[in-house]
Amino acid sequence: MNYETRVDQSDLSNRLSLRDEDDDIRPRSRRWLWIALAVVLSLAIGAYFYTRPAEVAAFTSSDASAPRVTVLSPGSGTIQGIINATGTLAARREMPVGVVGEGGRVVSVSVEAGDWVRAGQVLAVIDRSVQSQQAASQSAQIDVAIADGNLAQANLDRAQQLVERGFISQADIDRLTATRDAADARVRVARAQLGERQARNAQLNIVAPAAGLVLTRAVEPGQTVSSGSGVLFSIARGGEMELLANLGEDELAGLRVGVTANVVPAGTTKAFTGQVWQIAPVINETNRQGVARIALPYATELRPGGFASVQINGGTVVAPILPESAIHADDDGSYVYIVGAENKVAKRRVELGIITANGIVISSGLDGSERIVLRAGGFLSEGQVINPVTAEETN
């Protein structure tokens, strides 16, 4: 009995030793199992994203990583068209006045620049002492011709009384009649010559061709002038002024004669109301601009040659309006960034219209329903993915 008991105790000791070795092996096996499972899972995830590149791109370009960019949809509205331009003031009808006749030494000048004159008013007088003597001589020639005519008529009358008695032939009567007619003709010639001389003398007075405002005076007493002396006086007919506004081709195309405009001369804040009365029929090939002529009433602030700004009422326009920050330009013209599908930006070429207080009118290229990048367009590139937000969301 005792022997069996010792055997059982020895067997029990061996079993306990084997159980401890099993308990030590099992934790190591489980650890390797978890490592193997982690490797398999990593390979599966890698294979999944490798075979689905579109989902990977969407994941890497999610809203969280894309830049936040403010966008707006401008829509379309009716805008009161205002054309802003600049130009030069001028006389609407400027009349240059110079020497018409023979010329000579100026003896008097009766007006100054800035004076108002009436039609026919004498502006300057040229010496006519010689011409006056010539007129007196022509007047005396008339008296001589009249005397010769009277004598010829008397001779003809006496001859007609004698022809009935047979003392004078009909041939003599014809000769005396011709002499009388020639004397009468010389009277008319002398009178015409006197009239010509008087007309020439009258041209020695330099007169205003029409009523208006004297703009310039380029003559002084004692000065010798002639038909080649150029312009001595410049007169604005009726004092009417105008603004020569320089406009682009697109602006001219939408402009009509008769529209009103507000003109502000340089150096003043006073505005003058005018009206477009003529639009240039040609375009300058160098700057691609034409001239709109705006008629203005006389005012002391409107000085020909001065600079002025103008706002022309160009009618109504239905088009989108964008702030200047949304519009960009390059060598090919103006463009904006459109936010398209998958929030990718793309360039859109546009044509610019008039400038208003609310922004720049887009005359073509947009219908107003697009999402336009409002700011930061200079930092974007074609096809870039963004996270679009509205201005309300950024506030």
> How would you write the pLDDT of the chain (395 residues) with one tens digit per residue?
443 444 444 454 445 454 445 555 455 566 666 676 666 666 666 555 444 443 334 334 445 577 888 888 888 777 666 788 899 999 999 999 999 888 889 999 999 999 999 999 999 999 888 888 888 888 898 989 899 899 988 888 888 888 777 677 888 888 889 999 999 999 999 999 889 888 888 888 899 999 999 999 999 999 999 888 899 999 999 999 999 999 888 788 878 888 899 999 998 889 999 999 999 888 888 888 899 999 999 988 899 999 999 988 876 667 888 888 889 888 888 999 999 888 889 999 998 877 777 788 888 888 888 889 988 777 888 888 888 888 777 66
CATH code: domain 84-92+240-315 is 2.40.30.170
**Quick one: tokens of 385?**
């993915």
pTM of structure: 0.54
Report yes or no: 203 and 101 within 8 Å, Cβ to Cβ: yes
Report yes or no: 320 and 358 within 8 Å, Cβ to Cβ: no
- Indicate the CATH number of 68-76+320-394 among 3.30.360.10, 3.90.1580.10, 3.40.50.720, 2.40.420.20: 2.40.420.20
Provide the pairing of β-strand 328-330 with 260-265.
unpaired
pLDDT in the model for residue 168: 78
Distance CA 390, CA 74 (A): 12
Report yes or no: 289 and 247 within 8 Å, Cβ to Cβ: yes
Q: Which helix (H) or strand (E) holds 171?
A: helix 170-202
**Phi-psi group of 100: left, alpha or beta (phi > 0 → left; psi -120 to 50 → alpha; rest → beta):** alpha
pLDDT tens for residues 136-163?
888 898 989 899 899 988 888 888 888 7
Distance CA 79, CA 298 (A): 32
Report yes or no: 237 and 210 within 8 Å, Cβ to Cβ: yes
User: Which candidate, 232, 239, 238, 209, places its Cα nearest to that of 119?
Assistant: 209
Give the orientation angle of helix 129-163 with respect to helix 170-202, to 10 degrees: 160
pLDDT in the model for residue 67: 84
Distance CA 219, CA 233 (A): 8
Q: With H, G, I as helix, E, B as strand and everything else as coil, classify residue 253.
A: helix
Write down the architecture of domain 128-203 according to CATH.
Answer: Orthogonal Bundle (1.10)
